[in-house]
A = this chain, B = another copy of it.
Amino acid sequence: MKKLPFSRNDARELLRRNGINPTHQRIEIAHALYSRCEHMSADQVMAIVNERHPETSKATVYNTLNLFAEKKLVREVVIDPSKLFYDPNMSDHHHLFDVTTGQITDIDAANISVAGLPALPDGMIAEGVDIVVRVRPQAA
Q: Name A residues whose Cβ lies closer than 8 Å to a Cβ of B.
A: 78-83, 96-99, 101-103, 105, 107, 111-118, 120-138
Once bound together, how far apart are the Cα atoms of A96 and B96, in whole Å?
Answer: 14
Q: Are B112 and A116 in contact (CB under 8 A)?
A: yes
Once bound together, how far apart are the Cα atoms of A127 and B97, in whole Å?
Answer: 18
Q: A78-B99, A133-B133, A133-B134 are in contact. List 11 more A-B contacts (CB 8 A).
A: A78-B134, A78-B136, A81-B99, A82-B82, A83-B83, A96-B120, A101-B121, A113-B114, A113-B115, A117-B135, A126-B137
* Residue numbers in B under 8 Å from A117 (CB-CB): 96, 107, 112, 133, 135
* Residue numbers in B under 8 Å from A97 (CB-CB): 134
Q: Are A80 and B83 in contact (CB under 8 A)?
A: yes
Once bound together, how far apart are the Cα atoms of A83 and B137, in whole Å?
Answer: 18
